[in-house]
Amino acid sequence: MPDISIAIPTYQREGVLLDTLEQLLALQYPAKEILVVDQTPRHLAETMATLEKLQSNGHIVWHRLSKPSIPKAMNHALMAAKCDFVLFLDDDIRVTSELVREHAAAHDAGNVACVAGRVVQQWERELGEWESAWHDGRVEDPDAFRFNSASRRLVERFAGGNFSIERNAALEVGGFDENFVAVAYRYEAEFADRLLARGYRILFEPAASVFHLKADSGGTRSFGHHLRSLKPAHSVGRYYYLITTKRLTNRFSRFVQGPISAVRTRHHLSRPWWIPVTLIAELSGMVWAWWLSIRGPKYVGMRNPK
């Protein structure tokens, strides 16, 4: 089976990051290397000491970046990885399988560029073989796939917190678009679209499973709650994707209806004073997304967008 590099982009995470690393280092089938792409300005002393020790012992390769960006950190890992396959993981997971072995086996057995692992969220359970792999049976909608499914199959999406990619294929399509700023919502869909357009395939492998802890602080939580934030950090990625994608036939209507859809929630129904706050965030996200799209995509190795 092929060797795999693990890449963990991390931001403002302390103990949960160390717990994740401890689990990965304890796997019976280990990764060839673990790249920690750290965007945290300053760690707690205990975290700092542990990361320094792990690096000095050769257990991790610790990269420090000054400005937080999910796709930029992932591109950095793609360029730095020594193996032909890179397994990207969240920094706040509980490993519930022989993760590296299952990803390696899936790449070894099938002609696929990307393996999407199973991700079970806090509010979910692992689905059984008999249960639908799509929300509400929407088989025609790639975004309706349930990543807590037990159904091994070809898919058109992956969850960013547990997927492996053939390094050369990722670089061939340009890596991850760094115009997905802040929370970087929908960067996975945009990258998947480019992979599929080049004829590559994505396999969902439920045997490669993690439980997402969704830590209360750090990571994307650093940008506030999407229902209670005036800033467009959570909306800009969605609108940027709708502007730039070619695979959605109804993207214009989704774009126009976005602000209204964003306030049609139980939260806003019971707390209507949050409606103007969310609308401002949505409209600001639209403007930001248009500006980013005018500059053009920012792929791996590009110092400045077009």
Identify the band that residue 118 occupies on the pLDDT scale cut at 50, 70 and 90.
very high
Identify the band that residue 304 occupies on the pLDDT scale cut at 50, 70 and 90.
very low
Tokens of 90: 């969240």
Given a cut of 50, whether residue 163 has pLDDT beyond it is yes
Per-residue pLDDT, 38: 98
Beta bridge partners of 204: 116, 153
Q: What is the mean pLDDT of residues 154-172?
A: 98
Enumerate residues 6+ apart whose C-beta is below 8 A from 149. Answer: 118, 127, 131, 133, 204, 206
Compute the distance between CA of residue 241 and CA of residue 187 in angstroms, rounded to an integer.
8
In the block, tokens 């077009």 appear at 306
Q: pLDDT, tens digit, for every residue of 4-50?
A: 999 999 999 999 999 999 999 999 999 999 999 999 999 999 999 99
Query: What SS3 state is found at 205?
Result: strand
Q: What is the mean pLDDT of residues 178-184?
A: 96
Which of 216 and 36 is assigned the larger pLDDT?
36
Given a cut of 90, whether residue 90 has pLDDT beyond it is yes
Distance of CA 181 to the CA centre of its chain: 13
Q: What is the mean pLDDT of residues 84-97?
A: 98
Would you list the DSSP string of 147-158?
TT----EEES--
Q: pLDDT, tens digit, for every residue of 219-243?
A: 777 788 889 999 999 999 999 999 9
Per-residue pLDDT, 302: 67
Compute the distance between CA of residue 52 and CA of residue 45 in angstroms, rounded to an integer.
11
* Closest by Cα among 96, 119, 114 to 196: 114
Per-residue pLDDT, 306: 39
Per-residue pLDDT, 303: 54
Residues of the chain with CATH 3.90.550.10: 4-212
The CATH code belonging to domain 4-212 is: 3.90.550.10
Beta bridge partners of 87: 6, 164
- Angle formed by the axes of helices 251-263 and 275-295, nearest 10°: 150
Q: pLDDT, tens digit, for every residue of 63-87?
A: 999 999 999 999 999 999 999 999 9
pTM for this model (two decimals): 0.95
